[in-house]
Structure 1
């Protein structure tokens, strides 16, 4: 018997080839309220309607605040901490410098946080191993925005996946057609593969191949010679439980603004430090700030409120908003060392340091 006949003899026509990776069109039942869902598609239902915030002249109650300052001792210690983390910087100038001036600045940071919830649904499936089936016989599935979920703390980013009640049902596995196993794609169901050492000839260097004992074939390493494998989709259980999975995403959308009025100091440095919060306004929807002494903060508040409402209300539900104003410490320190003038900045409640130049071998930050 030649190789072809031998292969055909090992071939088992009773083992089906793999079916499609996803259920074919028309395979799934229709669930009321989720008719647009197709296997593999993520559907985003529009959020419930919201009541627009009316225009008004509500004034923000902003208390008086003192511009924070730092002493020479604090400024020196901040610089020592900074140069201590820079291997190329010597601490000697920081210890021996002579201060000429410490100039504090009033820096406000405005922040708007919009806590949103969005929902999407998609068909999912899992092997049916005898677990309970919550199907249409238990009632009609609730619409996406009426499915009960456990809400997380406000202003946190959380993703929760929930099985839609009464959306489950059983179907024969579309991958193996209910057989529980599929033909091995590596050996095409024959249980053997061509020997790679002798390329199927049975001989190598005019001697019988020791890898395949001269047969030219070897047992398939994928199916161990069986010609078939357990179905990877149903894991041999033959049936699948299909259900609609709801994905609920809570996200804290954040807008921050600090007026950039000091060219010598990079405003991005403020992103990693904190300030002293002296104004907090929180509600389902907040009003833009008006009447604050810094008009740029008022303009930023108006712009942010408008953008967040337009951007997020159409694709998600706005659960809560919070706007704050912080006073971020910033002091410009001028000093001399060895007859030359230098300067640096101390910023944030953490007393971080930014220096464009320092009297050392490595002078550029």
Structure 2
């Protein structure tokens, strides 16, 4: 015959939890035995000393905390960082990259706006080989050669630029267009089908970086000639929290997984210690933890909110007897969690 007896009513156990938590991000303080747990939590923003001084000058400036929700919908305040613009620090200044012109020098074509045609290798011929009449004609007598003013060998061809009023496009030296400009007729034995399809016998093409302009839009100011200058403020949101458990035979790691009845919950910008709680231990711990949190945040951060909670969790100690065996275990929390102090290390299967 087996007997099972309960020691009722269950005793109460208390836990004090104090931490820097925002009001929305306050986690319920879970404990083990029926306990009362005062919890003080305050979310704060960590700054350097210089940032704190700037914020005192801008007393009207309020930093809204960033809320990051997990998959379960709970708010996570650990390690949240936000970059903000400090008010009244924004101003327009001239772009130093383009000297407020809005355009920058094209270094690919060195400001010429043209580049050697890569399909005909600067010869103007579809075959990529210079026509013999170009270097044998007495009025031309030249090969397609490289412009030595370019940044590196082979970067471009020597170019002839007709006057602007003539309406003619520039062309490279030693090309069919150069021959026609000098001799007044095309090179003998070739037609339009022999010319390069991309440069039409000129041996050069427009630079694809600047579209033949020699200058391109400034990447720093986007062509406006001015940039906006302001002071960035990096804000760190963090949570400072402390928990305290009254003496209990159930480990604190298990008490943190249980929930109970909230006896006291208070949320203010700055809290006062608990003074009239029936359990004097709770009053002393509340005063101690609040002082520790105030000392940590003084001169180093700004406290947004503080929350203090006292929670009572029921715990029942159960004595059991089955045949010649007997023992105890604990049932705690509103979830009726079970804790067995000494569980058997071996088992046998019949």
* Band the TM-score falls in, shorter-chain normalisation: 0.3 to 0.5
Higher relative contact order (CA 8 A, sep 6+): 2
**TM-score, structure 1 as length reference:** 0.44
**TM-score, structure 2 as length reference:** 0.45
Bigger-Rg structure (1/2): 2
